[in-house]
């Protein structure tokens, strides 16, 4: 690790006190310490000391300047020390204080649902809920002018006018309901008429069959 020490003096500005390199071993001990490099000697207000790694601080009202010396302890290789007498790590081993995670694991789509605003939400296997798409509704100036295409579907025509699209519950549009069966919108009277006509046709066919059976029975009787 490279270190740089400086003193900010009101007159001299930033005054270099020392700089060097600290090399630590795999077990955290101070292995090597390089000699402090260039520094600025104290001239005005005693901004720096007379040797590298020292600085003088002039406190207001103090009788003498305070000499501060940087001492990183005795390194193992450079000074033959244990590399631990000048540093500490709060007297305990390194430990993780807090773990944070800003992402989620990969997930696959499990299910989806549609809310009242027409947003299609997908639920994934990693617990995430994401918006996948937006359902829009269309409103025509003359809905009765739409062309029937069968199977309860309609198409735009010249009489219906151009559609106005938008999200549900906006611009006079309706609301979506998921997991709900659609109510029938057929003409009930017309359906009853078709049913009665079909019933009359069935009755007429039944009478034809009955008459045919009676004729055949009479032919059999004549033969006897």
Domain boundaries, the chain: 2-79, 109-166, 192-224
Q: What is the pLDDT of residue 36?
A: 57
Q: What is the pLDDT of residue 35?
A: 62
In the sheet that holds 30-33, the strands lie side by side as: 2-9, 13-24, 30-33
Cβ atoms of residues 176 and 194 within 8 Å: no
| Dihedral Cα 159, 160, 162, 166, nearest 10 deg | 180
d(CA 71, CA 88): 13
CA 221 to chain centre: 90
**Residue 185's closest CA among 136, 220, 131, 148?**
148
Give 10-residue mean pLDDT values along the chain (224 residues).
Answer: 72 72 83 66 47 65 71 80 74 75 85 87 91 89 86 84 86 80 72 84 73 70 64
For residue 134, list its beta bridge partners: 119
b/e sequence 119-149, b meaning 16+ C-beta within 10 Å = beebebeeeeeeeeeeeebeebeeeeebeee
Q: What is the pLDDT of residue 90?
A: 61
Q: What is the pLDDT of residue 184?
A: 67
d(CA 75, CA 86): 9
What's the N-to-C CA distance of the chain in angstroms?
A: 128
**Which pTM was predicted?**
0.35
For residue 122, list its beta bridge partners: 112, 130
Q: What is the pLDDT of residue 39?
A: 54
The two structure tokens encoding residue 33 = 């310490």
d(CA 144, CA 44): 96
């Amino acid at each position: 690790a490279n270190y740089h020490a400086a003193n900010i003096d009101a007159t001299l500005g930033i005054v270099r006190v020392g700089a060097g390199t600290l090399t630590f071993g795999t077990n955290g001990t101070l292995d090597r310490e390089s000699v402090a490099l260039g520094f600025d000697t104290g001239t005005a207000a005693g901004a720096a000391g007379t040797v590298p790694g020292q600085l003088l601080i002039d406190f207001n009202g103090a009788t003498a300047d305070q000499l501060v010396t940087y001492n990183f302890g005795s390194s193992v290789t450079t000074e033959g020390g244990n590399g631990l007498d000048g540093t500490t790590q709060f007297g305990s081993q390194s430990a993780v204080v807090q773990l944070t995670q800003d992402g989620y694991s990969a997930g696959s789509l499990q299910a989806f649902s549609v809310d009242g605003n027409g947003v299609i939400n997908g639920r994934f296997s990693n617990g995430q809920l994401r918006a996948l798409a937006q359902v829009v509704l269309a409103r025509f100036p003359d809905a009765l002018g739409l062309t029937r295409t069968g199977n309860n579907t309609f198409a735009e025509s010249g009489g219906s006018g151009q559609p106005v699209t938008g999200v549900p519950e906006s611009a006079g549009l309706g609301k979506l309901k998921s997991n709900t069966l659609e109510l029938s919108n057929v003409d009930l009277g017309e359906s009853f008429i078709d049913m009665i006509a079909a019933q009359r046709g069935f009755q007429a066919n039944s009478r034809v069959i009955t008459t045919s059976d009676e004729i055949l029975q009479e032919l059999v009787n004549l033969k006897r």
